[in-house]
Amino acid sequence: MSKSKEVDPTEVMEVEPPKKKRIKRVCAVAVCPNPQDSVYHCFPKDNEMQKKWATLTRRADKVNVKTARICATHFTRDDYVQDVVSHLYPDVRRRLKPDAVPSQLLTHTSQSEQSIARAERACVRAQKNIRYSGFRFSSPDLHDTDEISE
């Protein structure tokens, strides 16, 4: 007969609740800084929309559409379903429209910023070309015979 340890029923055991493991979300968009305070959306179930989303991530590697997520910073306000609940309770998770595709902050700079930068570089090059086209390596002062004494 084994002697088991008796437990006093009046004794209160302190048990720590299990700690929630915080999952670090990663956005599938290649240039995203992965904001942890953002909402992350699953890829759509429609195969055509999955292909569109995967293309827009601009990743060199293949995107696993079953596990990948895209954060809310890549969607506009118009991409979300507008209903009474989302207006009354802004903290409630908003749903994307079925035809929504990521369109915001998909590259480091937008197309307009790139075209402005390109135009500025072209202007600087043109100014340099104008400046150097008037420059002569032989100075007219060297050809003055008055100043040269032999």
pLDDT in tens, 105-119: 877 655 555 566 677
**Rounded to whole angstroms, how far apart are CA atoms 79 and 94?**
10
| CA-closest candidate to residue 32, choices 61, 70, 76 | 70
Please indicate, yes or no, whether residues 99 and 29 belong to a single structural domain of this protein: yes
Mean pLDDT of the 58-73 span: 89
pLDDT above 90 as % of the chain: 9
Please indicate, yes or no, whether residues 80 and 44 belong to a single structural domain of this protein: yes
User: Per-residue pLDDT tens for 7-64?
Assistant: 666 666 677 777 766 677 888 888 888 888 888 899 999 999 999 989 888 888 888 9
Residue 12 lies in a domain: no
pLDDT at position 127, please?
Answer: 75
**Rounded to whole angstroms, how far apart are CA atoms 94 and 77?**
10
Domain count, the chain: 2
pLDDT at position 129, please?
Answer: 72
Residue 144 lies in a domain: no
Please indicate, yes or no, whether residues 47 and 98 belong to a single structural domain of this protein: yes
pLDDT at position 43, please?
Answer: 92
| pTM value > 0.85 | no
Mean pLDDT of the 78-104 span: 81
| CA-closest candidate to residue 34, choices 55, 57, 65 | 57
Please indicate, yes or no, whether residues 96 and 48 belong to a single structural domain of this protein: yes
Range of 40's domain? 23-104
